[in-house]
């Protein structure tokens, strides 16, 4: 097959967080597929086709992209952040695994991107200086009971955490439930960081709290919540916003 399918991440927000490699692939594509909100960040060149779809149509989007690539087109599938972190890379490979045998012969490339948890961590300093993990609080694709198990396991093992998709209109109380569960494993002074719209200069907002105070903070689907460990430290500064870092050695 002569087609090519590239799966890439645009970064959390804006062209400054899109890698040059991803920008080149986008410019060379004939057709670009993605969730409408993310695809709105792409400025098409002349002759380039954009295919927008709903957020919950990942497999259908992947299949449509694979069909286009199998027809000989240079295709890009976009995600926000990194395509392999709660994003489209997995959906594309699932579609290949369960789809047309010929799709396995396609030239498929995954390009790394700046995922939201790393962009958020960098804003605060170095909260992921030791072992850490990422947990998606959305129960659209897995039961809440499994999320609870993973939160408890991560807290019990001493991992710093990045919590993706903490709140939505359909799930207004799950972040509070997560804090309640974590409070049974972690000290109330454990540092908690909220990063809203990282990279969006007009809307970015950073807040440092503690697990005791965290339920009072506001969050939405554009917020990444970072949970520190017993080794996470705060360096107070005259500007008012501290540096947050986690020791590289375990206590």
pLDDT, tens only, 69-112: 999 999 999 999 999 999 999 999 999 999 999 999 999 999 99
For range 219-226, the mean pLDDT: 90
Residue that the structure tokens 């998606």 belong to:
136
Cα–Cα distance list, 145 to 27, 215, 226 (Å): 43, 20, 21
Q: What is the CATH number of the domain that holds 37?
A: 3.40.1010.10
For residue 188, tell me if it sits in a domain: yes
pLDDT of 225 reads: 96
For residue 251, tell me if it sits in a domain: no
Task: Check whether 219 has a pLDDT greater than 90.
Answer: no
Two structure tokens written together for 43:
């400025």
Last residue of a domain, one of 114, 129, 153: 114
Q: How far apart are CA 241 and CA 244, in angstroms?
A: 9
Q: Structural domain of residue 193, as residue ranges?
A: 117-246
Q: What are the φ and ψ backbone dihedral angles of 28, each rounded to 5 degrees? A: -85, -10
Beta-strand (E) ranges in the chain?
A: 4-9, 31-35, 49-53, 74-79, 107-111, 125-126, 132-136, 160-164, 191-196, 205-210, 223-227, 232-235, 243-246
Nearest Cα to Cα of residue 12 among 138, 86, 82, 116: 116
Task: Check whether 172 has a pLDDT greater than 80.
Answer: no
pLDDT of 239 reads: 81
pLDDT, tens only, 199-209: 888 888 999 99
Task: Check whether 1 has a pLDDT greater than 80.
Answer: no
154 Cβ neighbours under 8 A, 6+ residues apart: 133, 135, 161
Cα–Cα distance list, 89 to 8, 58, 79, 206, 237 (Å): 8, 10, 9, 29, 40
Same domain, 41 and 69: yes
250 Cβ neighbours under 8 A, 6+ residues apart: 130, 158, 231
Last residue of a domain, one of 114, 144, 161: 114
pTM: 0.91
Specify the 3-state DSSP secondary structure of 23. Answer: helix
Quick one: residue 201, left, alpha or beta (phi over 0 = left, psi -120 to 50 = alpha)? alpha
Q: How far apart are CA 31 and CA 49, in angstroms?
A: 5
Please compute Rg for the chain using Cα positions: 20
| Max intra-chain CA distance, the chain | 61
Q: What is the CATH number of the domain that holds 139?
A: 3.30.950.10
pLDDT band at 30 (very low <50, low <70, confident <90, very high): very high
Same domain, 103 and 123: no
Same domain, 79 and 150: no
pLDDT of 222 reads: 87
């Amino acid at each position: 097959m002569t087609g090519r399918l590239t799966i890439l991440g645009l970064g959390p927000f804006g062209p400054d967080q899109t890698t040059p490699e991803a920008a080149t692939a986008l410019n060379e594509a004939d057709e670009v597929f993605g969730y409408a909100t993310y695809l709105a960040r792409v400025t098409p060149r002349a002759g380039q086709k954009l295919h927008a779809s709903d957020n919950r149509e990942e497999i259908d989007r992947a299949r449509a992209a694979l069909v286009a690539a199998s027809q000989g087109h240079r295709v890009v599938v976009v995600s926000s952040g990194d395509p392999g972190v709660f994003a489209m890379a997995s959906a594309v490979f699932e579609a290949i695994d369960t789809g047309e045998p010929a799709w396995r012969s396609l030239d498929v490339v995954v390009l790394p991107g700046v995922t939201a948890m790393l962009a958020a961590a960098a804003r605060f300093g170095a909260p992921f200086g030791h072992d850490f993990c990422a947990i998606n609080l959305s129960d659209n694709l897995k039961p809440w009971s499994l999320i609870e198990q993973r939160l408890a396991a991560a807290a019990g093992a001493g991992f710093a955490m990045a919590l993706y998709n903490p709140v939505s209109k359909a799930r207004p109380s799950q972040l509070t439930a997560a804090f309640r569960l974590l409070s049974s494993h972690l000290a109330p002074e454990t540092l908690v960081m909220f990063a809203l719209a990282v990279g969006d200069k007009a809307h970015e907002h950073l807040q440092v709290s503690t697990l005791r105070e965290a339920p009072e903070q506001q969050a939405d689907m554009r917020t990444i919540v970072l949970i520190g460990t017993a080794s996470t430290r705060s360096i107070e500064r005259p500007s008012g916003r501290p540096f947050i870092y986690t020791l590289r050695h375990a206590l």
